[in-house]
A and B are shown apart, each in its own frame.
Chain A
Amino acid sequence: MSFRVLVVDDSKLARMAVAKALNALRPDWTRVEASNAEEALGHAKSGTFDMAIVDYNMPGRDGLELAAEILALKPGMPLAVISANHQVEVVTRAREVGATFLQKPLTEKALNEFASDAAKRLPKSP
């Protein structure tokens, strides 16, 4: 089953890193990239992805605010918030909005777990 993943990070390098890991784990999945919250919401409104990986630390709206907005548009969609700082506050808030927290730098193991879990939750036919 092939899914589309939205990757939101203001750093292109960080998006490249996520892309590399995703390509290795799920070569048949496709990616949509956004460098800020506005672009991400644009994609969310046109409904071009099945799950999202969002960086916490971004200028303007932070990743948690964006996660909450995306999930308001697409309730129940698998969404991971990633951050280099494992702050209790960020982890708790992520859980509150219904997102998974992943630690940066993203390991293939953590990404794999998120991807498998997401694939299980999504309906079988897109």
Chain B
Amino acid sequence: MNEFVEQFVIEGRELVAQGNDDLLGLEERPGDKDRLDGAFRALHTLKGAAGIVDFVAMARALHAAEDALSAVRSGNAPVTAPLIGLCLGCLDQVGAWIDLMQASGDIPEGADVAADDLVRRFTDLRSADAKLLPRHADPSATAAGSSTISRQLLEAQKLLLAERSPEGAAGRLGSAGRVAANVLRHQGLDTTDLESLLQTSLLAGDAALMAMAIDRILGSLAEKEPDAPGMLMAQPPDTTVRVDVERIERLVRLTGELLVAKNAVGHTARRAEEDVDPRQLAVALKNQHLLLERLVGQLQQSVFSLRVLPLHRAFQRFPRLVREMAGSVGKPALLVIEGAATEADKSIVEAIAEPILHVLRNALDHGIEDAVERRAAGKPPTATIHLRAARQGDRIEVAVEDDGRGIDVRRLRKVAQARGVASAAQLARMSDEEVVELIFAPGFSTASQVTGLSGRGVGMDVVRTAVERLGGRVSVSSRPGVGTVVRFSLPFTVMMTPVLTVEAAGQVFGVPLEAVVETVRVERTAIAAVGAAQAVVLRNRTVPIFDLGRALGAASGAPRAVANLLIVSVGGQLGGLEVDRLGDRLDVMLKAPDGLLAGVPGIDGTTLLGDGRVLVVLDLGAMFLNVQV
């Protein structure tokens, strides 16, 4: 990828995020000039960037969006939901193009069709007398919903064509043809074929041909179905990190100091060749060691700080997603974000977006009442969700607080019992606070109706698993009629340990990857008994091996003809571990063994797998020691 495209991708993403942010702010306060200017500038700079990399179609689409905002700036057009919706749609398209460019390094093909479509929609928006549009028209009618409307129109035409009476057949055919052609035009497609088909059908008096053509158009619409609201689009993981110049300069300064310290060691080494009092040398070396220790410590800290990102990176897409989700469930809601500048390790920032989004989705789906119910309860019709983040010592605290109806504990008790999450006796002993925590139990979901948002077969247990994998905790508290708060407590940084998973005796275990030298497959006959133990000769070295399954006390079946061996290095000694199967390489956060596992020899730690299972990571040193004794 050339450096221009590379910079285009970096800058483009930032501008899309900034534009989204300002557009949403503008929709909230249509008179906010700063937001308007910010949104305009984002579109304008994006257009300029497109011009630099010769992406003509993108520049054209952005020019149309820029014109629309320009009209607002000069006071010739109002800020309407359809206008904001269309501008956001335009930025979505730009974001998709940027993703494609990052993947291929080139200007995406077929961008013209999408650009034409956007330009036409901006023209339509302006030609419809903007002042007659209701202030809060359904935003989906312009962007996402257009294919739904098209589909309804086409379905109606099919019904019309199915009418068998010969009377008015030509009229019905003509109407269907016109509607189908309009839909095609709206999609930016050519209508010549359809028009000639209409003539043929009219001449033959045959509606079947037209019905088939409509079916084809319906099929093509289905492919264009927009994403369900509230989905995080899979983003390629960031391979670049933007770093403050100040942090770089600190590294440069440290490098300078390290060079000086290195030279000093060289000087001491030369003095050692001469006849110098060893005690004098020891003093010099000790001082230099202290200096180096301090510098290396600072270096380590500075390097870690390069991986630190503001939580804003995870939060920036939320206002937009909440807007979409609120629209799709018909509950007006506002997201208020505080503390987005709070910093955390890149891996935490990247991994936390999905769990928080899940909680936001739940709040909209279950926690927040519709406008009618809210009014009856004396609440403002628009719900507010607060998303707060703050650093507390070495942890990051994030809270999602809604002002909805709260969790109905009595209902929760019933559901918990009905679903077998807890027995009646257990429930009777539990306090309300404890019962509320049951929403994190696997398979627990209180949704009385499956909606488009939740009802994906995942519950809050997924949130808990994801957070615990990061070494975090999640808790919930709720007050009836007042709202629900979900709190996340996350580590500032995570140390990831690479492990290799292996299968033995029907169980999956992890082995620290740093201990693994190689994996080999050897014929059973190559394994020889050495006293009570077994060994194999590898490249002229005798390597003791043991069967992991048997070592764990599982009765192993008939030995395989070919053994899968993991050659590991423990305390400088090579050893072979026979396993049934080799698995994947994973980066995991190791947790010290606790509970039942505490004190069991041979266990290094545990971690949660993506599916919620516990992976036991083996302490090879202890295992080999035990076997050899």
Contacts and interface: CB of A to CB of B under 8 A. Distances in A.
B44 A13 contact: no
A105 interface: yes
A14 B44 CA distance: 12
B304 interface: no
A58 B4 CA distance: 20
B51 A104 contact: yes
**Interface-central residue, A13, A59, A105, by most chain B CB under 10 Å:** A13
A58 B621 CA distance: 61
Given A13-B11, A13-B52, A84 B47 contact: yes
Interface in B518-569: none
Nearest to A105: B51
B199 interface: no
Contacts of A58: 41
A48 interface: no
A10 interface: yes
A59 B41 contact: yes
B44 A11 contact: no
Contacts of A11: 11, 45, 48-49
Interface in B48-85: 48-49, 51-53
Interface in A12-29: 12-14, 16-17
A57 interface: yes
A105 B52 contact: yes
B318 interface: no
B52 A17 contact: yes
Contacts of A13: 4, 7-8, 11, 49, 52-53
A85 interface: yes
Nearest to B7: A13
Interface residue SS majority, chain A: loop
**Interface-central residue, A11, A14, A58, A104, by most chain B CB under 10 Å:** A11
A100 to B, nearest CB: 19
B52 to A, nearest CB: 5
Interface in B1-30: 3-4, 7-8, 11
Interface residues of B, number: 15
Interface in A86-124: 104-105
A57 B52 contact: no
Interface in A54-92: 57-59, 84-85
A58 B38 CA distance: 10
Nearest to B53: A13
Contact of A12 (B7, B41, B47, B51): B7
Interface residues of A, number: 14
A16 B44 contact: no
Contacts of B52: 13-14, 16-17, 105
B49 A84 contact: no
Contacts of A105: 48, 51-52
Nearest to A15: B7
A20 B8 CA distance: 15
B4 A16 contact: yes
Nearest to B37: A59
Contacts of B44: 57, 84-85
Contact of A57 (B3, B4, B41, B51): B41
A84 B48 CA distance: 7
Contacts of B11: 11-13
Nearest to B50: A105
A59 B22 CA distance: 13
Contact of A59 (B3, B38, B47): B38
B7 A57 contact: no
A11 B53 CA distance: 13
B3 A14 contact: no
Interface string A22-47: 00000000000000000000000000
B48 A104 contact: yes
A14 B49 contact: yes
A13 B49 CA distance: 7
A12 B45 CA distance: 11
A14 to B, nearest CB: 6
B4 A17 contact: yes
**Interface-central residue, B8, B38, B52, by most chain A CB under 10 Å:** B52
Nearest to B5: A13
Contacts of A104: 48, 51
Contacts of B53: 13
A16 B3 CA distance: 9
A59 B19 CA distance: 13
A14 B38 contact: no
Nearest to B52: A17
A11 B52 CA distance: 11
Contacts of B38: 59
Contacts of A17: 4, 52
Contacts of A14: 45, 48-49, 52
A16 B45 CA distance: 14
A105 B44 CA distance: 12
Nearest to A84: B48
Interface of B: 3-4, 7-8, 11, 38, 41, 44-45, 47-49, 51-53
Given A12-B7, A13-B49, 7 more contacts: A13-B4, A13-B7, A13-B52, A17-B52, A84-B44, A84-B47, A85-B44
Interface of A: 10-14, 16-17, 57-59, 84-85, 104-105
6 contacts: A13-B8, A14-B52, A17-B4, A58-B41, A84-B44, A104-B48
CB-CB nearest 7 A-B residue pairs: A105-B51, A13-B7, A17-B52, A84-B48, A13-B11, A13-B49, A57-B44
